[in-house]
Structure 1
Amino acid sequence: MAARGCWSPGTVILVATLLCGTLDIADAAIFTLAHGHDPLVMLRSIAACLLGPGAMRGGYAMSFVGLGLHFLIAAFWASFYVLVVGQVSVARRYPLAAGVIYGLLIYLVMNYVVLPHTALHIPLPKGGLGMVNGLLALMLLFGVPVSLLNRKRC
Protein backbone atom coordinates (compact mmCIF):
# COMPACT_ATOMS: atom_id res chain seq x y z
CA MET A 1 0.00 0.00 0.00
CA ALA A 2 1.29 3.48 -0.86
CA ALA A 3 2.18 5.85 1.93
CA ARG A 4 -0.46 8.43 2.72
CA GLY A 5 0.11 11.67 0.85
CA CYS A 6 2.60 10.24 -1.59
CA TRP A 7 2.35 10.95 -5.31
CA SER A 8 2.68 8.77 -8.36
CA PRO A 9 5.68 9.48 -10.61
CA GLY A 10 3.28 10.98 -13.16
CA THR A 11 1.88 13.41 -10.62
CA VAL A 12 5.36 14.47 -9.53
CA ILE A 13 6.34 15.01 -13.17
CA LEU A 14 3.19 17.02 -13.91
CA VAL A 15 3.51 19.25 -10.85
CA ALA A 16 7.26 19.71 -11.39
CA THR A 17 6.73 20.57 -15.05
CA LEU A 18 4.11 23.20 -14.25
CA LEU A 19 5.90 24.68 -11.23
CA CYS A 20 9.49 24.60 -12.48
CA GLY A 21 8.53 25.53 -16.03
CA THR A 22 6.58 28.51 -14.73
CA LEU A 23 9.35 29.66 -12.39
CA ASP A 24 11.95 29.34 -15.14
CA ILE A 25 9.98 31.18 -17.83
CA ALA A 26 8.93 33.88 -15.33
CA ASP A 27 12.61 34.44 -14.51
CA ALA A 28 13.44 34.62 -18.22
CA ALA A 29 10.59 37.09 -18.86
CA ILE A 30 11.61 39.31 -15.94
CA PHE A 31 15.27 39.21 -17.00
CA THR A 32 14.24 40.04 -20.59
CA LEU A 33 12.06 42.96 -19.46
CA ALA A 34 14.76 44.24 -17.11
CA HIS A 35 17.11 44.45 -20.08
CA GLY A 36 14.64 46.40 -22.19
CA HIS A 37 13.46 43.59 -24.45
CA ASP A 38 10.06 42.11 -25.21
CA PRO A 39 9.29 38.76 -23.52
CA LEU A 40 7.08 37.82 -26.49
CA VAL A 41 10.12 38.08 -28.73
CA MET A 42 12.04 35.91 -26.24
CA LEU A 43 9.27 33.29 -26.53
CA ARG A 44 9.42 33.47 -30.33
CA SER A 45 13.16 32.82 -30.13
CA ILE A 46 12.37 29.51 -28.40
CA ALA A 47 10.10 28.58 -31.29
CA ALA A 48 12.73 29.73 -33.77
CA CYS A 49 15.23 27.29 -32.29
CA LEU A 50 13.07 24.48 -33.65
CA LEU A 51 11.28 26.12 -36.59
CA GLY A 52 13.97 28.45 -37.89
CA PRO A 53 14.49 32.22 -38.01
CA GLY A 54 11.15 32.80 -39.76
CA ALA A 55 9.41 32.07 -36.46
CA MET A 56 10.70 35.41 -35.19
CA ARG A 57 8.14 37.09 -37.47
CA GLY A 58 5.27 34.89 -36.27
CA GLY A 59 3.62 37.24 -33.79
CA TYR A 60 1.51 36.06 -30.88
CA ALA A 61 0.93 32.58 -32.32
CA MET A 62 4.64 31.89 -32.53
CA SER A 63 5.13 33.26 -28.99
CA PHE A 64 2.54 30.73 -27.85
CA VAL A 65 4.40 27.95 -29.72
CA GLY A 66 7.61 29.01 -27.96
CA LEU A 67 5.86 28.87 -24.59
CA GLY A 68 4.56 25.40 -25.41
CA LEU A 69 8.03 24.25 -26.43
CA HIS A 70 9.44 25.65 -23.19
CA PHE A 71 6.99 23.54 -21.18
CA LEU A 72 7.72 20.50 -23.34
CA ILE A 73 11.42 20.89 -22.52
CA ALA A 74 10.54 21.40 -18.84
CA ALA A 75 8.52 18.16 -18.96
CA PHE A 76 11.51 16.32 -20.39
CA TRP A 77 13.88 17.55 -17.66
CA ALA A 78 11.33 16.92 -14.90
CA SER A 79 10.68 13.41 -16.23
CA PHE A 80 14.38 12.65 -16.48
CA TYR A 81 14.89 13.68 -12.87
CA VAL A 82 11.94 11.74 -11.49
CA LEU A 83 12.50 8.59 -13.55
CA VAL A 84 16.32 8.45 -13.53
CA VAL A 85 18.20 10.85 -11.25
CA GLY A 86 15.65 10.85 -8.45
CA GLN A 87 15.94 7.09 -8.09
CA VAL A 88 19.58 7.32 -7.02
CA SER A 89 19.77 7.02 -3.24
CA VAL A 90 22.22 9.90 -2.80
CA ALA A 91 19.86 12.21 -4.74
CA ARG A 92 17.00 11.22 -2.45
CA ARG A 93 19.15 11.64 0.65
CA TYR A 94 20.50 15.08 -0.31
CA PRO A 95 17.75 16.72 -2.39
CA LEU A 96 19.08 20.29 -2.17
CA ALA A 97 22.56 19.35 -3.37
CA ALA A 98 21.10 17.02 -6.00
CA GLY A 99 18.80 19.78 -7.24
CA VAL A 100 21.60 22.33 -7.53
CA ILE A 101 23.80 19.85 -9.40
CA TYR A 102 20.87 18.86 -11.64
CA GLY A 103 20.19 22.50 -12.52
CA LEU A 104 23.87 22.89 -13.43
CA LEU A 105 23.64 19.78 -15.60
CA ILE A 106 20.57 21.17 -17.39
CA TYR A 107 22.39 24.47 -18.01
CA LEU A 108 25.46 22.73 -19.43
CA VAL A 109 23.50 20.37 -21.69
CA MET A 110 21.14 23.04 -22.98
CA ASN A 111 23.79 25.71 -23.58
CA TYR A 112 26.73 23.60 -24.75
CA VAL A 113 24.99 20.72 -26.54
CA VAL A 114 21.40 21.57 -27.52
CA LEU A 115 21.30 25.30 -28.36
CA PRO A 116 24.36 25.34 -30.65
CA HIS A 117 22.66 22.65 -32.77
CA THR A 118 19.25 24.32 -33.11
CA ALA A 119 17.96 26.08 -36.20
CA LEU A 120 19.31 29.36 -34.78
CA HIS A 121 22.79 27.91 -34.08
CA ILE A 122 23.02 29.83 -30.81
CA PRO A 123 26.69 30.37 -29.87
CA LEU A 124 28.19 29.13 -26.63
CA PRO A 125 27.66 31.42 -23.61
CA LYS A 126 30.35 34.01 -23.12
CA GLY A 127 29.78 34.71 -19.43
CA GLY A 128 28.24 37.79 -17.88
CA LEU A 129 24.97 38.51 -16.17
CA GLY A 130 22.88 36.40 -18.55
CA MET A 131 24.99 33.36 -17.82
CA VAL A 132 24.81 33.91 -14.06
CA ASN A 133 21.04 34.40 -14.24
CA GLY A 134 20.61 31.29 -16.37
CA LEU A 135 22.71 29.16 -14.04
CA LEU A 136 20.98 30.38 -10.89
CA ALA A 137 17.53 30.03 -12.43
CA LEU A 138 18.08 26.43 -13.47
CA MET A 139 19.72 25.49 -10.19
CA LEU A 140 17.33 27.28 -7.80
CA LEU A 141 14.09 27.53 -9.77
CA PHE A 142 14.20 24.19 -11.56
CA GLY A 143 16.69 21.74 -10.07
CA VAL A 144 15.92 22.31 -6.39
CA PRO A 145 12.11 22.34 -6.75
CA VAL A 146 12.02 19.18 -8.90
CA SER A 147 14.31 17.45 -6.44
CA LEU A 148 12.17 18.47 -3.46
CA LEU A 149 8.97 17.49 -5.26
CA ASN A 150 10.48 14.09 -6.01
CA ARG A 151 10.48 13.40 -2.26
CA LYS A 152 6.64 13.19 -2.49
CA ARG A 153 7.00 10.22 -4.85
CA CYS A 154 5.63 6.87 -3.63
Structure 2
Amino acid sequence: MRILWGILLGGLIAGALDIVYAFIVYGPMSYGLTPQEVLQSVAAGWLGREASRAGGLDSAMLGIASHLLIATLMAAVYVVAAQRFRALTDKAILWGFIYGLVLYVAMNYVVAPLSAAGGDGHFATSLGEISSRLRESFSDIRPHWDPRYPWLIPATIFTHTLLVGVPIALIAKRFAPQSA
Protein backbone atom coordinates (compact mmCIF):
# COMPACT_ATOMS: atom_id res chain seq x y z
CA MET A 1 0.00 0.00 0.00
CA ARG A 2 2.92 2.35 0.72
CA ILE A 3 4.19 1.85 -2.82
CA LEU A 4 0.80 2.76 -4.30
CA TRP A 5 0.58 5.92 -2.19
CA GLY A 6 4.12 6.87 -3.21
CA ILE A 7 3.27 6.40 -6.87
CA LEU A 8 0.01 8.36 -6.69
CA LEU A 9 1.44 11.21 -4.62
CA GLY A 10 4.60 11.35 -6.73
CA GLY A 11 2.59 11.52 -9.94
CA LEU A 12 0.19 14.13 -8.59
CA ILE A 13 2.88 16.43 -7.18
CA ALA A 14 5.23 16.12 -10.15
CA GLY A 15 2.34 16.52 -12.58
CA ALA A 16 0.99 19.58 -10.77
CA LEU A 17 4.40 21.29 -10.55
CA ASP A 18 5.12 20.57 -14.20
CA ILE A 19 1.77 21.80 -15.54
CA VAL A 20 1.85 24.99 -13.44
CA TYR A 21 5.34 25.60 -14.86
CA ALA A 22 3.96 25.06 -18.39
CA PHE A 23 1.04 27.44 -17.80
CA ILE A 24 3.46 30.18 -16.71
CA VAL A 25 6.33 29.61 -19.12
CA TYR A 26 4.30 28.91 -22.26
CA GLY A 27 1.73 31.51 -21.23
CA PRO A 28 2.85 34.96 -20.13
CA MET A 29 6.59 34.29 -20.32
CA SER A 30 6.74 33.29 -23.99
CA TYR A 31 4.01 32.28 -26.45
CA GLY A 32 1.02 33.72 -24.61
CA LEU A 33 -0.88 30.42 -24.55
CA THR A 34 -3.87 30.06 -22.27
CA PRO A 35 -3.98 27.12 -19.84
CA GLN A 36 -6.54 25.49 -22.16
CA GLU A 37 -4.15 25.80 -25.11
CA VAL A 38 -1.30 24.33 -23.05
CA LEU A 39 -3.49 21.36 -22.14
CA GLN A 40 -4.58 20.99 -25.76
CA SER A 41 -0.90 20.80 -26.74
CA VAL A 42 -0.62 17.77 -24.44
CA ALA A 43 -3.71 16.21 -26.02
CA ALA A 44 -2.11 16.80 -29.43
CA GLY A 45 0.04 13.78 -28.65
CA TRP A 46 -3.11 11.66 -29.08
CA LEU A 47 -5.15 13.71 -31.53
CA GLY A 48 -2.69 15.70 -33.63
CA ARG A 49 -2.31 19.46 -33.33
CA GLU A 50 -5.23 20.56 -35.50
CA ALA A 51 -7.77 18.14 -34.02
CA SER A 52 -6.66 19.03 -30.52
CA ARG A 53 -7.10 22.76 -31.13
CA ALA A 54 -10.53 22.11 -32.61
CA GLY A 55 -11.50 19.93 -29.63
CA GLY A 56 -12.01 22.82 -27.23
CA LEU A 57 -12.48 22.00 -23.57
CA ASP A 58 -12.81 18.27 -24.30
CA SER A 59 -9.30 18.06 -25.71
CA ALA A 60 -7.99 20.17 -22.81
CA MET A 61 -9.51 17.65 -20.38
CA LEU A 62 -7.85 14.84 -22.34
CA GLY A 63 -4.63 16.82 -22.02
CA ILE A 64 -4.76 17.15 -18.23
CA ALA A 65 -5.75 13.49 -17.81
CA SER A 66 -2.90 12.42 -20.11
CA HIS A 67 -0.44 14.71 -18.34
CA LEU A 68 -1.28 13.31 -14.91
CA LEU A 69 -1.23 9.73 -16.22
CA ILE A 70 2.23 10.25 -17.71
CA ALA A 71 3.50 11.84 -14.48
CA THR A 72 2.07 8.93 -12.49
CA LEU A 73 3.78 6.43 -14.80
CA MET A 74 7.05 8.34 -14.32
CA ALA A 75 6.58 8.13 -10.57
CA ALA A 76 5.70 4.44 -10.77
CA VAL A 77 8.94 3.61 -12.58
CA TYR A 78 11.05 5.42 -9.98
CA VAL A 79 9.13 4.26 -6.91
CA VAL A 80 9.20 0.62 -8.02
CA ALA A 81 12.90 0.83 -8.94
CA ALA A 82 13.63 2.43 -5.56
CA GLN A 83 12.19 -0.65 -3.85
CA ARG A 84 15.01 -2.69 -5.36
CA PHE A 85 17.87 -0.18 -5.57
CA ARG A 86 18.39 1.52 -2.23
CA ALA A 87 20.78 4.10 -3.72
CA LEU A 88 17.75 5.72 -5.38
CA THR A 89 16.43 6.66 -1.94
CA ASP A 90 19.75 7.02 -0.11
CA LYS A 91 20.82 9.73 -2.57
CA ALA A 92 17.34 10.79 -3.63
CA ILE A 93 18.21 14.32 -4.78
CA LEU A 94 21.12 13.18 -6.96
CA TRP A 95 19.22 10.27 -8.51
CA GLY A 96 16.05 12.33 -8.86
CA PHE A 97 18.01 14.95 -10.77
CA ILE A 98 19.51 12.28 -13.04
CA TYR A 99 16.08 10.70 -13.50
CA GLY A 100 14.74 14.12 -14.51
CA LEU A 101 17.44 14.37 -17.20
CA VAL A 102 16.45 10.94 -18.51
CA LEU A 103 12.79 12.04 -18.53
CA TYR A 104 13.70 15.22 -20.44
CA VAL A 105 15.42 13.20 -23.18
CA ALA A 106 12.66 10.57 -23.27
CA MET A 107 9.80 13.06 -23.50
CA ASN A 108 11.38 15.56 -25.89
CA TYR A 109 13.35 13.27 -28.17
CA VAL A 110 11.35 10.02 -28.13
CA VAL A 111 7.74 10.33 -26.90
CA ALA A 112 6.80 13.66 -28.50
CA PRO A 113 8.38 12.92 -31.91
CA LEU A 114 6.67 9.52 -32.11
CA SER A 115 3.28 10.88 -31.03
CA ALA A 116 0.54 12.44 -33.13
CA ALA A 117 1.91 15.85 -32.10
CA GLY A 118 4.80 15.14 -34.49
CA GLY A 119 4.95 16.78 -37.88
CA ASP A 120 2.49 14.49 -39.72
CA GLY A 121 -0.28 14.61 -37.11
CA HIS A 122 -0.33 10.85 -36.50
CA PHE A 123 1.54 8.25 -34.47
CA ALA A 124 4.55 6.64 -36.05
CA THR A 125 3.07 3.47 -37.55
CA SER A 126 6.00 1.48 -38.92
CA LEU A 127 9.53 0.65 -37.87
CA GLY A 128 10.79 2.75 -40.77
CA GLU A 129 8.78 5.78 -39.64
CA ILE A 130 9.84 5.27 -36.01
CA SER A 131 13.47 5.07 -37.09
CA SER A 132 13.15 8.13 -39.30
CA ARG A 133 11.46 10.25 -36.62
CA LEU A 134 13.99 9.24 -33.94
CA ARG A 135 16.92 9.86 -36.26
CA GLU A 136 15.57 13.33 -37.07
CA SER A 137 14.83 14.04 -33.41
CA PHE A 138 18.31 13.15 -32.17
CA SER A 139 20.18 14.65 -35.13
CA ASP A 140 19.70 18.31 -34.32
CA ILE A 141 18.73 20.31 -31.25
CA ARG A 142 17.55 23.23 -33.39
CA PRO A 143 14.01 21.92 -33.91
CA HIS A 144 13.56 22.37 -30.15
CA TRP A 145 15.34 25.75 -30.10
CA ASP A 146 13.41 29.00 -30.40
CA PRO A 147 15.79 31.96 -30.85
CA ARG A 148 13.13 34.31 -29.44
CA TYR A 149 13.25 32.39 -26.14
CA PRO A 150 16.74 30.87 -25.83
CA TRP A 151 16.10 30.05 -22.18
CA LEU A 152 13.29 27.59 -22.94
CA ILE A 153 15.51 24.51 -23.29
CA PRO A 154 17.36 25.15 -19.99
CA ALA A 155 14.00 25.94 -18.36
CA THR A 156 12.52 22.67 -19.65
CA ILE A 157 15.52 20.78 -18.30
CA PHE A 158 14.99 22.61 -14.99
CA THR A 159 11.38 21.51 -14.77
CA HIS A 160 12.13 17.87 -15.63
CA THR A 161 14.92 17.68 -13.07
CA LEU A 162 13.88 19.89 -10.15
CA LEU A 163 10.10 19.92 -10.51
CA VAL A 164 9.56 16.32 -11.66
CA GLY A 165 12.55 14.02 -11.01
CA VAL A 166 13.59 15.31 -7.59
CA PRO A 167 10.06 15.45 -6.10
CA ILE A 168 9.37 11.92 -7.34
CA ALA A 169 12.63 10.72 -5.78
CA LEU A 170 11.92 12.44 -2.45
CA ILE A 171 8.43 10.95 -2.34
CA ALA A 172 9.87 7.53 -3.20
CA LYS A 173 12.23 7.97 -0.25
CA ARG A 174 9.37 8.96 2.03
CA PHE A 175 7.33 5.90 1.03
CA ALA A 176 10.20 3.40 0.86
CA PRO A 177 9.94 0.39 3.16
CA GLN A 178 11.35 1.12 6.59
CA SER A 179 14.51 -0.78 7.45
CA ALA A 180 14.40 -2.86 10.57
Same fold judged by TM-score > 0.5? yes
- Equivalent residue, structure 2, for 1:125: 144
Show the 5 A alignment for 1:97-112: 97-112=94-109
Give the 3-state SS of the residue equivalent to 1:151 in structure 2: helix
Cα distance 1:129–1:86, how it changes in 2: closer, same or farther (>3 A)?
Answer: farther
The residue type paired with residue 125 of structure 1 is H
Counterparts of 1:132-147 in structure 2, within 5 Å, are 132-147=154-169
Q: Which residue of 2 aligns with 1:21?
A: 15
- What residue is the counterpart of 1:64 in the other structure? 61
Please state how far the C-alpha of 1:105 moved relative to its aligned partner: 0.4
Deviation at 1:41, TM superposition (A): 0.8
Partner of 1:3: none
**What are the Cα deviations for residues 4-63 of structure 1, in whole angstroms up to 9, with x where unaligned?**
xxx710000011111111011000111122222222111111111112231211111111
Letter in 2 for 1:73: I
- Give the TM-score normalised by the residue count of structure 2: 0.77
| Selected match of 1:51 from 6, 23, 47 | 47
Residue 95 of structure 1: CA displacement? 0.7
| One-letter amino acid of the counterpart of residue 47, structure 1 | A
In the alignment, does 2:37 pair up with 1:41? Answer: yes
Moved over 6 A (4+): none
Please give the alpha-carbon distance, in whole angstroms, between the structure 1 residues aligned to 2:101 and 2:82.
13
On the 8 A contact 1:86/1:147 being kept in 2, the answer is no
**1:90 counterpart letter in structure 2:** A
CA root-mean-square deviation: 1.7
Query: Which blocks of at least 5 consecutive residues in structure 1 are unaligned?
Result: 1-6
Task: Tell me how many residue pairs correspond in the alignment.
Answer: 148
Give the letter for the 2:2 counterpart: S
User: Which blocks of at least 5 consecutive residues in structure 2 are unaligned?
Assistant: 120-136, 138-142
Q: Percent identity?
A: 31
Q: Distance in 1 between matches of 2:110 and 2:83?
A: 23
- d(CA) in 1 for partners of 2:37, 2:82: 33
Structure with the greater alpha carbon radius of gyration? 2
1:94 paired residue among 69, 72, 91:
91
The amino acid of 2:115's aligned partner reads: T
CA distance in 1, matches of 2:111, 2:63: 16
Separation in structure 2 between the aligned mates of residue 131 and residue 139 of structure 1, nearest angstrom:
12
Contact 2:90 2:173 in 1 (8 A): no
Specify the alignment match of 1:11 in structure 2.
5
